Amino acid sequence: MLRTFARSFLLCCGLLAGAPGFAAEPILPNLWDPKERMPKPDLGEVERLRFITTTEFPPFNFIDETGRLSGFHVDLARAICAELAITERCQIQALPWDEHRQALEDGEGEALLAGLAVTEENRRTLAFSRPYMVFPARFMAQRTDLVEPTAENLAGRTVGVMTGSAHERMLRDLFPGVTVQGFDDFEAMLAAVQTGMIPLAFGDGMQISFWLGESESANCCSFVGGPFIAPEYLGQGLAVAVPLDQPVLRQAIDYALHQISAKGTFAELYLRYFPIGFF
């Protein structure tokens, strides 16, 4: 569970055997203790579970070529409803980003599945499920220049990072011997690795995975080492938000997320929408 990581600066999830940066099978995120047993709350009196989400947050939410709302969050909402056996009472409404929070407060929906940050400020007015997704930091290098990223063997090497970002703070704190090369443009940073201007880049694993899957990368590069999960730097990840006065609903969503993980449903969704995994 993510909470077990809260006091550690980072967790490296490890590598499969072979050259660093290459994995025979994708590493799947798992934030749940498989031994944990959670009771299933009774939602028999719930007349409706409407998820409020957004439309312009691909691959989490987007309008596909047929004009249909699609994405990871859409399928996750449906999976939650299926686990709770309330599919016939399940609805999904997409709104612009600046309207979804108010819509939940106005009672237009019962849950918010839109990537709202889990912060102390937001916790004052909303209750959050346990996280279903976190975004690890990753190192990226050319395939011909793979190095296991430890503080010792990165000492003296130049690493690109976004200027002023949480990743820069993390890099400076945990790898004090590196030479930090700041960038203001994310794609320019990755291109600098591609052209050999710098040997490594450090940043958001999901964003890097998208670039690695694009033609612009020309299959030049790959992740190096494992994912670094650091809530102290990178936040608590994504969670479902519900009104504070709906504790049973929050517990039910936690139960459903746990079941989705245990049954492999979450893994299927992750591989569907993130073919180049960022874990």
pLDDT for 16: 28
Residue 25: what pLDDT? 58
What is the mean pLDDT for each group of 10 consecutive residues in the chain (279 residues)?
Answer: 30 32 59 84 89 90 90 96 95 91 91 91 94 95 84 94 98 96 97 96 96 93 92 93 94 96 93 89
Q: pTM of the predicted model, to two decimals?
A: 0.84
Domains and CATH numbers, the chain: 49-133+237-273 (3.40.190.10), 137-228 (3.40.190.10)
Q: According to the model, what pLDDT value does residue 15 have?
A: 27
User: Which amino acid would we find at residue 190?
Assistant: L
Residue with tokens 């650091």: 230
In DSSP terms, 53 is beta-bridged to 94
3-state secondary structure the chain: CHHHHCCCCCCECCCCCCCCCCCCCCCCCCCCCCCCCCCCCCCCCCCCEEEEECCCECCCEEECCCCCEECHHHHHHHHHHHHCCCHHHEEEEECCHHHHHHHHHCCCCCEECCCCCCCHHHHCCEEECCCCECCCEEEEEECCCCCCCCHHHHCCCEEEEECCCHHHHHHHHHCCCCEEEEECCHHHHHHHHHCCCCCEEEEEHHHHHHHHCCHHHCCCEEEEEEEECCHHHHCCCECCEEECCCHHHHHHHHHHHHHHHHCCHHHHHHHHHCCCCCC
Query: Which pLDDT belongs to residue 56?
Result: 82
Q: Residue 6: what pLDDT?
A: 29
pLDDT of residue 30: 79
pLDDT at position 7 is 29
